[in-house]
Amino acid sequence: MSYRQDVEAALEAFSVVAQLGNSTLLRHELVVEYLDAPHRPPSRLPSGKVAVYGFWANGCWLKIGKVGSNSHARYTSQHYNPGSAPSTLAASLRGDEAMTTIAGFDAAFPGAWIKEYTCRANILMAADKPREMLSLLEAFLHLRLRPRYER
């Protein structure tokens, strides 16, 4: 299954989870941006939006995170720079011994590898949705997609 199929199937299933929580989140209320490898990081989080985003490479989800409407750096740049914040994809890759065997990976510049070799999915929703909805979607995607660096 491709990363796009993973996301679409997960979002279909998530609508049931939202209903079980006495809430609704219809598929058309979510905007999904698919950034195939090689990709450019988003330049900004759209105004009035929050997001859950994920990085995928070689048939595996690597990292899934969430961002509120005031966390632009987390959304646009921090995951590409190992020292920019706690728990970034770049830092996780740098600390993974298995990455030393991956062609094209340079621990000094993990962001370059992320941009070149990973696909990214950005799932955007309106910022006026309950904050618990964003957290629930992130947790559901962690459980369903099992990202390598979230365990």
Domain ranges of the chain: 3-150
Residue 67 structure tokens? 């961002």
114-143: average pLDDT: 96
Instruction: Find where tokens 């009035």 sit.
Output: 48
Instruction: Find where tokens 């000094």 sit.
Output: 108
pLDDT in tens, 73-101: 999 999 999 989 889 999 999 999 999 99
Radius of gyration of the chain (CA): 15
Q: Would you say the pTM of this structure is higher than 0.85? A: yes
Q: Residue 50: what residue type?
A: V
* Residue-averaged pLDDT of the chain: 94
Q: Residue 101: what residue type?
A: T
- Nearest alpha carbon to residue 82 among 45, 43, 112, 118: 112
What is the spatial distance between Cα 94 and Cα 108, in angstroms, rounded to a whole number?
A: 8
Widest distance between CA atoms in the chain:
47
What residues have CB less than 8 Å from 78, skipping those under 6 apart?
84, 85, 88
pLDDT in the model for residue 24: 79
